[in-house]
Chain A
């Protein structure tokens, strides 16, 4: 009698496990890419901020010494305050201008396409060209703004826009808003165009006025876009180097000193550890911003579901 052969093979993986493994295999390349391109530089920068690394040297672990040095520096407190002011004020203006223009251009107005393209020009321009142009406009002697003021008789004196504490930060904010508002405009416009026209019709039928239509239909429709735009714009503005460096180099005094410029000064002194500490000092604030916005977005999605 022939014996039935006993099976020595391992039990086969369940279909579900196989599916999970396959999914992981698909994710691995992306995960590796993220670790390599995002994780490694990020954690390396954090590590360097705890060392006394200088150009050409490996650097020894010095704990919190770089951060203690920064905290003791008067310019560090100014950099925190100035960065917050630059981000909050310029984002507020960008929102107001971007939203206003998006609402306007979303209406059926003549030459709407041309108008939309024209509004994108500041954002299309290379940043250094834009800010150098603003620097020329702000020149105390021969600068465009002063020429207008003196020629029209509005203000006959020479105004040193970038050289006075009272006007330097507003001047940087104006240039920053001019360069950044098109991104807000185009993002909000895209959000507006996704709102079904029927919702407005229904609101009109219900007797809603313009403000009520904005509050009940428009704002809920663009809220998510505005939140994402705020997040991105805040991160870009906080990290923006050209706007301040090309206009004021952080001066006069410390009136416009912001984190990226402070980090650049660290590099100029060839102390990489110190420069990294300035950048790392920004991280908690940016992480909180990312966390809050992500939570808001997830909450928004749950509501939709």
Chain B
């Protein structure tokens, strides 16, 4: 007879949720900002659906528990992050925006410029004060004061790319340490490449993972635009050097076939299937390996992205919460967001999610001191670069990013066999056309 273990995943989740609820019980009245909560009112919240079911459920339960404690009806809708733009567009057009929602920084920037969100400086100050202050890179990256006259987003997590490597394969090949430079990365990747295992699982496709190439280009000294953030500057000797590095690695056949058309899960699947020795990823692969392939999890090490001639460029990608200006219950939405920053909840949430911390006190959470993936994300928050750095992160830069200009330039070189200057010329023209739209 098959008996179920006492600790099932569900029971652990319930226990965790219970602990979070208990831990935060009574704290709703302890928030610093004077929110007026009307019993019987309603708050709708759009949470960002992420890779971890456990984290998604924790968020839903935490909102519900807060609502129950305060006599407020809550409705949590988890939105696939790939569909946030479309859903928010429709909600704005039909005047059905939720009271609060999670989103990425680039969407926050665009919508803040349109005056869609309430300023949340009071919430930001209050949370920072209660949690040892915000990490400086997070604070500066999410500052919307210039576009919206105040802070409209409350950061709650940071993602970014870590370099994951197969220590078992690399040790056998004589590499103990992570590659410090992009050249070393190719060298190590080439040493372990033996089809169907390929060394370097970097995406060159038209998906978010392909934009790791923007960081690589910038670490070679290449730029997207000049210091005014208005004039395209892709065509340069530094970009040429970067493309030479790409072409050299491509000719060494270290990339798994298919990486020019991978979807968002392509590198994850490649690594989990044992087809790639290195990938650059947010850490979601590590989470998946922990449950699906403990052996692979044990054999995986995490480090920062390699350096180019201009050092390491590893941009933070903060996730934020915001309150809609059209909210009929703004105080409750603000109180909810402040509640969701409580250490007890965030400690449990970070353990399940794949985000780095945003507040100084969060660095002391057990996960950030013990778990290798979370430690890597903490390292990213402390040492990573601002979004867009060394370029100026503005709406034109975000447009370039979402149009995958750099991965497409790389595809011209490796797929179409264009010479480097021709590929740079096209990327330069395309980027300038993008930047011209925002003049």
What residues make up the interface of A, taking CB atoms closer than 8 Å to B? Answer: 52, 54-57, 69, 72-74, 139-142, 158, 160, 162-165, 168, 246-255, 265, 267-272
Contacts and interface: CB of A to CB of B under 8 A. Distances in A.
B111 A253 contact: no
Interface in B267-282: 273, 275
Given A55-B107, A56-B110, A269-B403, A140 B411 contact: no
Contacts, number: 107
B207 A253 contact: no
Interface string B307-330: 000000000000000000000000
Contact of A141 (B205, B257, B260): B257
A268 B402 contact: yes
B430 interface: yes
B261 A249 contact: yes
B408 interface: yes
Contact of A55 (B92, B257, B433, B437): B92
A121 B411 CA distance: 36
A288 B196 CA distance: 49
A182 B379 CA distance: 55
B85 A270 contact: yes
B257 A160 contact: yes
B26 interface: no
Given A139-B258, A141-B257, A251 B206 contact: yes
Nearest to B270: A141
A199 to B, nearest CB: 50
A270 B108 CA distance: 11
Contact of B416 (A57, A253, A270): A253
A265 B205 CA distance: 13
B261 A163 contact: yes
24 contacts: A56-B110, A73-B430, A74-B426, A141-B256, A141-B258, A142-B196, A142-B273, A165-B415, A246-B263, A247-B261, A249-B261, A249-B263, A251-B205, A251-B411, A252-B205, A252-B411, A253-B408, A255-B415, A267-B85, A267-B86, A269-B398, A269-B402, A270-B110, A271-B399
A253 B411 contact: yes
Contacts of A254: 408
Contacts of A56: 88-89, 92, 110-111, 114-116
Interface in B180-202: 195-196
Closest 5 CB pairs of A and B: A56-B114, A140-B257, A160-B257, A252-B260, A253-B411
Contacts of B398: 269
A236 to B, nearest CB: 21
Interface of B: 85-86, 88-89, 92, 107, 110-111, 114-116, 195-196, 205-207, 256-261, 263, 273, 275, 398-399, 402-403, 408, 411-412, 415-416, 426, 429-430, 433, 437
A162 B260 CA distance: 8
A54 B107 CA distance: 11
Given A74-B429, A141-B275, A163-B261, 11 more contacts: A52-B437, A55-B85, A56-B92, A73-B433, A141-B195, A162-B258, A165-B415, A252-B411, A253-B408, A254-B408, A269-B402
A129 B273 CA distance: 21
Contact of B261 (A142, A251, A269): A251
A249 B402 contact: no
Given A141-B256, A163-B259, A251-B205, A55 B273 contact: no
Nearest to A271: B399
Nearest to A70: B433
Contacts of A250: 206
Nearest to A268: B402
**Most chain A Cβ neighbours within 10 Å, of B206, B408, B433, B437:** B206
A165 B417 CA distance: 11
Contacts of A251: 205-206, 260-261, 411, 415
B196 A55 contact: no
A195 to B, nearest CB: 45
A74 B408 CA distance: 12
A164 B257 CA distance: 10
A169 to B, nearest CB: 12
A271 B106 CA distance: 13
Nearest to B205: A251
Contacts of B433: 69, 72-73
A241 B29 CA distance: 49
B415 A265 contact: no
A265 B116 contact: no
Contacts of B403: 265, 269
A94 B257 CA distance: 30
A149 to B, nearest CB: 14
B85 A158 contact: no
B261 A55 contact: no
Given A69-B433, A141-B275, A163 B260 contact: yes
A114 B429 CA distance: 57
A252 B263 CA distance: 12
